[in-house]
Structure 1
Amino acid sequence: MPAPRREKAARGADAARTEAAAAPARAGATEIQSFRGIAALSTVLFHVWQQYHTYDARGSHPPLDNRFLGALISLEVIDFFFVLSAYLLTLSYARAAIDRGPVRPARLFLFRRAIRIVPLYFLAVLVVWASRNPSLPGDWRDLVEHLTFTHVFDGDRIFYTLGPTWSLSLEIVFYLTLVAIGPLAVRACGRIGTRGGRAALCAAGCAVLFAVPLVWLAVARYAWGVPHTDWAAYFGPQARFGGFAAGMGLAVLMVALDGRGKLPGWCSAALSAASAVGLFALSLYSAPENLVFTFYHPIASLLWVVLLYSTLQAAQRVRWHRVLHTRWLTGTGLVSYSLFIWHEPIMLQAHKVGLLPRGPEGFPLALLIVLAVSIPVAVASYWFIEYPSSLLGRLKDSSGKPRDFYPEAAR
């Protein structure tokens, strides 16, 4: 075969492998976008609820007259974000390990993660920190910890400046872990001759990573008696990495299935309903220091995996999936990161200047006010900050090298 033809065939093979690696990520993309929107709205709801709990003179959660409503509102979705992030980001490594496809360079992975998260996050941290520290030096340690994503390790400052962003510290730890163990997994799988054996090895690695937080939680709670208010102990990666491990396991499973084993509509609906009921029951029976509370997040992570799996593997769209295809929900998912970043400082500022009603009876109106302000801000933030930042991804090609936009000029 002539050299030009061989080069063309090689490029075609590389493109085919890349296409195959991307296929699982595209499957259910609309549903995933809507899930992000639901999770973001639930996060706003949860934090407004927390705000009223904190500032209510009677010291009780506003909706707790009805414990079922209280359980629904207090259902935490942070594990969903961890599972989804790990699933999407592990797909390429799982495909490389199981199907011996190409491995994207770590520098490209970290560059794309940085342009996705850092610009908006740094801007928000600087704006919010400056507004709360009008005279220098202010709480400089808080600023440094937030800018270095290390505030999750500080039990005193973990929720300062941008309270919900403790989770971004864990995201960074996961990124670094993935680029460290991903290539090792690919190399180890390269020595195994069968596809099933390679998938089993990857699954075993995910299981080990999931087990580590379980052991830590058991030891911290029942051997050392660490109280649940020790935030660094129970919010750090040693306690919360199970969500990422569960998402990695889902990626391995989806790659191993490779489009096979699609679920009938009734089975997909049943699994989705079972996971939703399980999540609700987990929230309903969770109380500080009890067994459910201690292991809430690893169990929730597995239930989120079931929900995502039942959606991604559905052979046909079931009735409730139509909700996930509504334009307002997919639009909310598009701006979910900006909504996640800005809603808390907006809520706190609105409370400070007296725009939010006082007392438990004002909770529903307060939620509407926070959403009415936060969603337009999130839309503007996406189009003026997130989207322009994402265009920086075009500066590097698929190998992680600077892209040559004018190849003709080099001739």
Structure 2
Amino acid sequence: MSTETATRPPAAPARPPEGAPARSRASDIDGLRGLAALSTLIFHVWQQYYRYDAAGSHPPVDNPLIGAAFSFEIIDLFFVMSAYLLTLSYARAAIDGRSIRPARVFLFRRAIRILPLYVLAVLVVWASRNPTLPGDWRDLAEHLTFTHVFDQHRIFYTLGPTWSLSLEVCFYLVLVAIGPLAVRACRPLRQRRTRVAVCAAGCLALYAVPFAWIAVAHYGYGVPHTDWAVYFGPQARFGGFAAGMGLAVLMAALGERGRLGRRVALPLCAAAVAGLYCLSLFSTPENAAFTFYHPLTSGLWLLLLFGTVHVRRKSLWNRMLTARWLSAVGLVSYSLFIWHEPVMLQLHKAGLLPTDQAGFLPALLIVAAVALPVAALSYWLLEYPASLLGRLKDSRGRPRDFYPEAARQAS
């Protein structure tokens, strides 16, 4: 029976075609995580200390081409990657009838992944900035409940970059709600192409939501770009997650088919980077590129990821991403994301960062030299031990039996 008309396709995945690389695609993602984390560090050093002069008006470099490179925002890449990796199992279940983990297992593993380090960092940083009680208790409560992204005044308090984690948590809840629904909706559909079309249409609908929201807010009601709760909330930034979900559907639909050769993959990645750079270069508060910057970049990040992971053989780009040093940064990228801003602020408070406009590069090197070892310590002392808790349950959410043979012998 053809897979096009089968209600349930074979459970076993198709064999890779001749010439397909045996390596894990996760190594490329690790490299991208490392690049994204380093780019975030660069952006925040530039933005918070060297973007403007004493009058708050001029960028630290007169060349707009260099300024566009420094202002290259990377946060949407995190959203696209996260959504792609987490949606892939749901996409395969909806399209090819594979099984999915229960929602409680998914949420348990996500909590183990992000909460221990996040809660500790919030408590440490908040306590250092609120030495007397009650302090700004509302700020603490909002950060611990991931609701600070909805607070116009406190969205960037305590750990500024973690407003994005609020969106991650929102996405987790959305995914465990609509993922199983998509699987159930696709099961009665006999044709595989119909299942793919249904999943793709759902992703496109979710991708359109931020465009509609931003258009109504900006052009309909004239809400300024500095209204953070309007333009940083999930309703405006879900485009990154929708793009990642769309990539997961595309990868599940293709399987091992249609892998790109280097002559196609490299130009595709280069075109995506060029598009991202042009958006950064030409975006001003007066034009639509600035207004719709984040949903537009999400689509370009999707193209870059597709040209990175769906390839037949390693290209120069893949080899760069799998470099050992970059993979090491990718390994500690979450800790680096959490700690780089507190490290930067403490260095500035101690007078260890140059304050003049020409001091950007020395300051960047100083922050990186301190933040990277801190991130490595944080990973091995907290992240990695906490991740071991995720092994306490199997894929169905049942307590894992680590000594089945010993138990049988004892019985």
- TM-score category (smaller protein): over 0.9
Among 27, 35, 46, the alignment partner of 1:30 is: 27
Among 159, 163, 169, the alignment partner of 2:160 is: 163
Q: Which has the higher helix share?
A: 1
Change (3 A) 1:137 1:282: same
Aligned-pair Cα RMSD in Å: 2.0
On the 8 A contact 2:94/2:195 being kept in 1, the answer is yes
Does 1:216 pair with 2:208?
A: no
Kindly provide the CA deviation profile for residues 59-114 of structure 1, in whole angstroms up to 9, marking residues without a partner as x: 24543311111101101000000000000000000011000011210000000000
Does 1:123 pair with 2:120?
A: yes
- Comparing 312-321 with 294-303, greater Cα deviation is found at 312-321
Which consecutive residues of structure 2, in runs of 5 or more, have no partner in the other structure? 1-9
User: Residue 352 of structure 1: CA displacement?
Assistant: 1.1
User: Residue 196 of structure 1: CA displacement?
Assistant: 1.1
Among 306, 326, 331, the alignment partner of 2:328 is: 331
Kindly provide the CA deviation profile for residues 204-252 of structure 1, in whole angstroms up to 9, marking residues without a partner as x: 0000000111100000000000000000000000000010000000000
On the 8 A contact 1:27/1:312 being kept in 2, the answer is no
User: Residue 290 of structure 1: CA displacement?
Assistant: 2.0
CA distance in 1, matches of 2:52, 2:137: 27
User: Residue 289 of structure 1: CA displacement?
Assistant: 4.1
Partner of 2:7: none
Helix, strand or coil for the counterpart of 2:76? helix
On the 8 A contact 2:53/2:60 being kept in 1, the answer is no
Runs of 4+ in 1 over 6 A off after TM superposition: 17-20
Among 136, 147, 154, the alignment partner of 1:139 is: 136
Whichever residue aligns with residue 206 of structure 1, its letter is: C
Helix, strand or coil for the counterpart of 2:394? coil
User: Residue 313 of structure 1: CA displacement?
Assistant: 1.5
Change (3 A) 1:394 1:61: farther
User: Residue 17 of structure 1: CA displacement?
Assistant: 6.6
CA distance in 2, matches of 1:53, 1:296: 23
Among 75, 85, 90, the alignment partner of 1:88 is: 85
Write out aligned runs for 1:7-406 (5 A).
Answer: 16=12, 27-53=24-50, 56-60=53-57, 62-406=59-403
CA distance in 2, matches of 1:404, 1:239: 44
* TM-score after normalising by structure 1: 0.93
Residues matched between the structures, number: 395
Partner of 1:6: none
Change (3 A) 1:257 1:127: same
User: Residue 51 of structure 1: CA displacement?
Assistant: 1.4
* TM-score after normalising by structure 2: 0.93
Which consecutive residues of structure 1, in runs of 5 or more, have no partner in the other structure? 1-12
CA distance in 2, matches of 1:177, 1:356: 42
CA distance in 2, matches of 1:133, 1:225: 36
Whichever residue aligns with residue 374 of structure 1, its letter is: A
